[in-house]
Structures are given as C-alpha cells and as structure tokens.
Structure 1
Amino acid sequence: MNQPTTDPTFYRTAADAAAAPPERLAYVAAFDRAADKPDAMSVIDVDPGSDTFGRVVGWTEVPGRGNELHHFGWNACSSALKHEGHDMAGLARRYLIVPGLRSSALYVLDTEPDPRRPTVVRVVDAEELAARAGYSRPHTLHCGPDGVFLTCIGGADGADGPGGIALLDHDTFDVLRQWETDRGPQYFAYDAWWHLGRNTLISSEWGTPSMIEDGLVPDLLLENRYGHAIHFWDLATGEHRQRVDLGAQHQMPLELRPSHDPEATWGFVGVVVSTEDLSASVWRWHRDDDTWAVDRVITIPAEPADPDLLPPALKPFGAVPPLVTDIDLSVDDEFLYVSCWGTGELKQFDVRDPAAPRETGSVRLGGIVGRTPHPAAPGRPLTGGPQMVEISRDGRRVYLTNSLYGAWDDQFYPDGVGAWMALLHTDPRGGMTVDERFFPHDGDFRGLRAHQVRLQGGDASSDSYCYR
C-alpha cells in the first residue's frame, strides 16, 4: 500500500523554494465596496504558455455581503516541517483561510480537487472569534507553531480594542484562544511574523476599527494617534518582551517582512507616512546585544503637486505622500519591493546589506496625480496604484494589485479606484519591466476591487523556513 508523502510545496530551505517549479495560478481576493454583491476569490492564470494567460479562470463567491475580503493565507506552509503535533503524511497546502475585515467572519476555501474552482467548506463566524479569542476584524494570518496565527484589529462585544492575535486549530480551523498570555503595553494590532529559530514574534500597529473604517481621520493623524511602534514577543509563551517606538511622527508601521533565514535576527517594516513632511519610510529591526533595535534605512519623500489635482484630504499640503502601504522581501533576501500607493510607484531595493538598501529599479502605474497608464492600455489613465505586492519564489515575477481598503480608496481616489492587476519581470542584477500581456482589470473582476494575491505553491510572503 502506497503511503502518502509530505506536500512537495513544503520546502526545507529558501533555496529549495526558489528552485521549485513556477506558479501557474494566482488567487486574488476581490470585494464589493458597495456591499451589493458577494465578495469573491478570483483565480488568475499566470502560466505564460497558456491560452488564458492573464485572465480570470475561476471565481468563488463567499456567503453574505459586505465582508471586505482583505488579507488571506494558506492553512499550511513550509514551517510545518518543524511544527509539533502534525501528521505530516496528510498535511498539505490546500486550504485558503480568507477573513472578512468588516464582517469578522472567516471563510475556508478548499483548492482541491480543482485549484481553479475553490469551494467554501467552512465558515467561522464573528461570534466564535469573539467568544473564544476576544477579537474582531481579522486581518492577517500565517501558519505557525501551535496553530494558525490570525491578527485582529478590534476587540469583541463592541470593544474598539485592544487588537491582537487569535489562534486557530491547524486542522479544524476552530478558534482555540487568544494567543497572548501577557500583552504588556501593546494595544494596536496589524501584522505579525516571526523568527522561528529565535523564538521571537514581531507585531506591528495600525489603529482600532473606529480609526480606520471610515478612512484616514486627519485629526487623529496630525495628533500622531495612530500606531507608531513594533513589538517583540516570546513565540512559545505569548509573552510581551519589548516595545520599540519609532517616534510618534512615524505613523502606521504596517507590513513586516523578516529575513527568510530561520536563524536571522533582522527584517523590515514599512511606515505609511510621517506627519513632519508626508514622507514614507522603511525601517530595519535587528538584534543589538540583548535587545531589539529599529533603524530607519529608507526614506521616500512626498512629491509636490497642484492642489487642484489633489483629493480634499491632501489639498492643504500641496503634495502627494508616497503612502507606503506594502513591502515584500524576495525569498533569497536580496531585493525588497516597496509600494508607494499615493504616488503610483513600485520601488526595488538591493538589500543584500540590509543596513544600507540601494535603489535598483522603479515602475510607475496609476497614482493620485500621475495616473500612469499600463502599457497594455497606453491611452487609459490608471487609478489606484501599486498596493499589494507578491513575489514569486524564484524572485523573477512581481504581482501587483491596486486597492488598499474600501474607505481609504474612496478618500484618496474619490473619482474611483477601479480594479487592476499587473505583472512585473525582474532582472537578477536589478530592474523591472511591466508585462504588456498581463492586465486583468475592471470587468475581469466583475466590478469588484482587487486586493491581496497568493500564489499556487507558495510565494515570498507565505512561508517561513526551518532550515538553512
């Protein structure tokens, strides 16, 4: 009798992941801002040899209205090779766990037997999340030790906060408990990642639901009341160890991207905006003797603009802030990609020396003022900008989508943000070019907005590796 084998998309090392066969499908969360239609998981053909390359080839609606599907992830990844309590013969990167940021519900989609036609096989409702973990507004998730870690923005039973991490069962997806055992000073939540080999979890900050759900609140921003710190935790015990404040003016440290080396003690966090000059920035955390330190390594200035071309929230400033809303680190830890959603730019940095990034490439698409068109439609001004960024395991392809969060889309692109996805090809020596054949947009997404991308078999921000 043949015995089942370990999922071939679990890679012992980052180098193994980079050498694996390329992705053929991309999964893209799509949501209806008006809440008139169901949100959906779209499936995009990314095989350049396929007749349907760059087209939507699958579409799975989730129950209800107004979920606002946002970040999502796989039930299992390469880190499972070192998790305890798994039957590795049966564990697979098979299920997508998809939170509704507004509804607080979770939808589990099975990508087998046909990966182009995922099916909803489990719904975890807001009541279960609240009762068992004390949280609402689920945001980001990663497969990790003890279970699936799910960061949440809000508290339960009408409480605005604190946000934190809920732990889900790896197999049943039941909500098990609140992960934190000693929260310390942490109150705001956003992202969470870890250094597995160093027993350390890192978390970042955005704001509570009331601070984000209707858009960026100018008074709160100018009073520096959004998050501006990152936190370090004991991964095994859930105890808070250290808070590092970036400075109150550095508002909203969001996406965390640790090195893919399991023994490393460094990573990057992107900061949306400085209230001093509307610049954005990227910071590096690293170990400094017996504590963690965080240093600013990239600053991206705001760009002057005619106030008549700006949305109301920006007219008084006469400038477009970069608004760094996502960053992504290639699996080989050599290149960092930084999305500037406000200016419509994706920047590429060589980070082989993580303390001294060097810019090596830039592509512009959309932007609040620039509206740079896609090469596939050179006469069509493009709204939105590079927002969610995902990198193939081999680092040769970068996928972009253009929607940030419904209320913020409307605030910064009041004439409409549209929906689009782009593919960039990278040069190993640095540099990027836009694929002119690949441009799913607008009607391809059936009037919904496109947000996060996950790649079949894993991608640069899905996995943490256990071995060197």
Structure 2
Amino acid sequence: MSSPTGHELDPTFYRSPGDAIAAPAERLAYVVAFDRSGQQPDALTVIDTDPGSASFGRVVGWADLPTRGDELHHFGWNACSSAFAHAGHHTDGLQRRYLLLPGLRSSNVHIYDTHPDPRQPRLVRTVTAEELAAGAGYSRPHTLHCGPDGIYLSCLGGANGDDGPGGIAVLDHDTFDVLRAWETDRGPQRLAYDAWWHLNQNTLITSEWGTPSMIEDGVVPELLLNNEYGHALHFWDLAEGRHRQRVDLGAQHQMVLELRPSHDPGATWGFVGVVVSTEDLSASVWRWHRENGDWQADKVITIPAEPAPAEELPPALQPFGAVPPLVTDINLSVDDRFLYVSCWGTGELKQYDVSDPARPRETGSVRLGGITGRVPHPAEPDRPLAGGPQMVEVSRDGRRIYLTNSLYGSWDDQFYPDGVGSWFAKIDTDPDAGGGLAVDESFFPHGPEFRGRRVHQVRLQGGDASSDSYCYP
C-alpha cells in the first residue's frame, strides 16, 4: 500500500480492525520493568514471542534508563493506525517506530527507537519533568495514545507534582516537544487517569483515579471509605478539547480506571473497569454508550469479593475477612468480541463474550498468584506465585493474551507485603471455538530474567488490542 504522494505507508498501520487481525503475528513483546527501591535503573525489555524461535519466551533485549526512580508504568507508540485520521500526516514517512516511556514518579518521558534492530532499542531523547510542566502544566504522566494531531499523554498531577487538576498533554509526533495542554474547557473534571476516544464520533473519554498525594503511598483507607477516589467518566469534544458531559457511576464505585472503546469506528460504546465498591468490596465493569445524543453508563459485570481467613490476609484487608477482586486492567479484542478482565487481588483472569456488549457472558477463566491461594504457573507447579494477572494485552488476532503481575510499587507492597516477585505469562484462546483460556506452559519469563525488577505493561511488535484506533469499518 502506498500513499497518494508515493510514500510507502508503515505496514503496521491498519485501515480497519479486520486488516489488523489479518496481519502477521507479533514476534516480540516490549515490557517495562522497574526497580521499586530506585537503586537500579528501570528498563525496557524485549521478549521473544515467536514459537518457532530457539529463544521463545526469553528476554532477548534490554535497555537500561539513564536515570533512577522513574517507576515505568504505561507506555506506547509514537504512531499507530490512527495515522489515517491525521490530516496528511501519514503521507510524510510517519512510522510506528518510537516507544515513549513515561516515569510515573519522576515525570520524565524517555523515548526509545526500535529501529534498525527491534531487539536493541536505543534512547534518542528524554522529555524532562521540567519540560512537561512548562509546556503543558502537568506532571505524573500515566498513559499515552497516538492521536489525530499528536501524542496524547494523560497525567495525574499539575505542574511540578502539584495535586492537580490532572489532564492531557499533547506532544509532537516527530520532535516529541511538549506542545500544550489539550483541554480548553475542563468543566468539572479534576481527577485523571486514562484517556481514549471514538475518533469518528469526535469524542474523547477520560476516567478517574486520584491525585499524586492520593496514590503515592498506596490506597489510603480514609480516602477510600469516604469515597474520595474517582468515580466518574467524562466525555469531551475531541477536536476542541471541551468538556461535554460527566457521568457519575456512584460514589461507592471507587477508582474508575482502564478505558476500552470499541474498535469498530462506527460504534459508540466501550467498557471501563472499576477497582472496588466500598459497599461490598466487589469490582465491576461498566459499558458506556450513547442514546439520543447523551452518553450513559451501565454496570454489566459484577465480580464479588472472596471470603478468606484474616490470618491469611495482608493488614489492609484483615478487618474485612475477604479478598477483593481488584479489577485493575481490562482489554477488548480487536474484533470487539471478547473482553478480558484482570482480578489482581484474587489472581484471576476472566474472559467474557461481549458480542452483545450489554450482556457479557463469561467464557473462560484462569488463576495465577493471588493474595490468598497463590496459584503456581504450570511450568513450576511447586512454586506459589505472588501478585496476580494485572496488565493484560491481547494480540491483534485475539489468540494470545499476555499478562504481567505488578500493579504499582506502593500497591504491590500494600497487598503483597511479603513480596510480589516478577513474572510474565501467556494465555492461549481459540475465538473460533467460542473462547476458553489455557496457560502456555512453555512461556514463563520470571525472576532472575528481569534482574530484580518488577514488570508492568506490555506492548506487542506491530501493535496490539490496546494500542490502535481505526478509521474505517
């Protein structure tokens, strides 16, 4: 495929979800690893995901950051399939080439080039905390997406680590300069977390966690029980940066986190995960949708807490005598058919058929780790695992699901006080057979392979289910 001007388009830019599904499978996964103590630099690691390779399931590339104490968290590509919505931009050599790595604690953004050798990423620039504060008035960068007019970087804090309000910084696709704050009228929005969109509907959605002081040292019981963490969705005019509507999920539904809009560019629905209800410690997944011009949200999945002896629980949970599911990540397959839900507290990954988004139907489940139970990986059946399915990423064809086990350093320590460890797992499914989940026993990088660092988000070579938005049906 070539552009009208004759320039070759990046073959990993897909016009439609169907094109992405039909593309060649990923052969590498990029995983960020961080040192909780800040004594070692965080790192961008590269894992071989090619089952025909002699190094399948092993770390084959490693790049240390030049700094310490960044706490790498979420990261992403400089460009993706949304290039087809960029006015003329996809004709001038734009490529899915650079990975931007925000430091959730340092507010630095390190940028790595994956060319010419995708196994050996090279640092090419660092956007400092000072540049982010001066250019956009934000700090604590959390999540980024490649968008219509730049790179959108959601941030939890105001300039210089102030408590806020949090919002979105826009970076240039090519130079990575911090251009501006995206919002022109934020309305009632103050708390920030994730941001994503329906490109063809000119709508951006944001969710809510908390300000830096609310998350720095883990979950603050007083704030949680007083329902002071985020509990709403916000809908915006994407082109103008103007707030249009706030949808409150109810104050008891604390910490509204990962947004997963439908990949179908003509659809107007998506899912968001809620970590915990202060009424009963359950977790939930909500569907947003538009009716008669207004946005609405309905709870479509409820996952209850699991009773457990107090002596088996960390101090934070002992008064409750139960393990909350703690839904901390969700992911939607590119064909919009299956939703994956990470229950980091109970150590469970759930699969739902969401062909009817209003009525999800559970079709699979696996357990690894967990606050209690500590289910081992089948590759090492005698070794109980700490942590649980946390960041979840799905291959473009929907047949492979990748999991890491660390959430956020202070949360790890709070809910797994005896240590969370470090592991990366692969789960297989067959969409043609109606789903179901099976752990791949041959894929289990863990422990020493990550050199004492914890692992968090995953990005797949050529894109994945949570990296791209599409412009054509």
Q: TM-score range by the shorter chain?
A: over 0.9
> AA paired with 1:459?
D
Name the SS for the 2:91 alignment partner.
Answer: coil
What's the counterpart of residue 445 of structure 2? 440
* TM-fit CA distance, 1:3: 5.6
Query: Which residue, out of 22, 33, 42, partners 2:36?
Result: 33
Name the SS for the 1:352 alignment partner.
Answer: coil
After TM superposition, which residue ranges in structure 1, 4 or more long, deviate above 3 angstroms?
A: none
Post-superposition CA distance 1:138-158 (Å, at most 9, x none) = 000000011100000001134
Post-superposition CA distance 1:65-102 (Å, at most 9, x none) = 10000000000000101211415241110000110000
Query: Which residue, out of 110, 115, 134, partners 1:112?
Result: 115
Query: Which residue, out of 65, 88, 91, partners 1:88?
Result: 91
> AA paired with 1:432?
L
Does residue 380 of structure 1 match 2:383?
A: yes
What's the counterpart of residue 405 of structure 1? 408
Does residue 458 of structure 1 match 2:463?
A: yes
Query: Which residue, out of 390, 393, 400, partners 1:390?
Result: 393
> AA paired with 1:374?
H
Instruction: Verify the 8 A CA contact 2:7 2:91 in the aligned structure 1.
Output: no
* TM-fit CA distance, 1:260: 0.2
> AA paired with 1:181?
T
Whole-Å Cα distance in 1 between the matches of residues 21 and 272 of structure 2?
23
- Aligned ranges for residues 142-221 of structure 1 at < 5 Å? 142-221=145-224
Name the SS for the 1:15 alignment partner.
Answer: helix
Post-superposition CA distance 1:35-62 (Å, at most 9, x none) = 0000000000000000000000000011
Unaligned runs of 5+ in 1: none
What's the counterpart of residue 295 of structure 2? 292
> AA paired with 1:23?
E
Name the SS for the 1:157 alignment partner.
Answer: helix
Instruction: Verify the 8 A CA contact 2:368 2:389 in the aligned structure 1.
Output: yes
Instruction: Verify the 8 A CA contact 1:142 1:149 in the aligned structure 2.
Output: yes
Does residue 420 of structure 1 match 2:420?
A: no
Whole-Å Cα distance in 2 between the matches of residues 85 and 406 of structure 1?
41
Instruction: Verify the 8 A CA contact 1:140 1:152 in the aligned structure 2.
Output: yes
Aligned residues: 467
Change (3 A) 1:49 1:158: closer
Instruction: Verify the 8 A CA contact 1:196 1:263 in the aligned structure 2.
Output: no
Instruction: Verify the 8 A CA contact 1:43 1:59 in the aligned structure 2.
Output: yes
> AA paired with 1:427?
D
> AA paired with 2:357?
P
Identity %: 77
What's the counterpart of residue 45 of structure 2? 42
Instruction: Verify the 8 A CA contact 2:9 2:90 in the aligned structure 1.
Output: no
Whole-Å Cα distance in 1 between the matches of residues 227 and 413 of structure 2?
22
Query: Which residue, out of 347, 352, 366, partners 1:363?
Result: 366
Whole-Å Cα distance in 1 between the matches of residues 371 and 259 of structure 2?
25
> AA paired with 1:450?
V
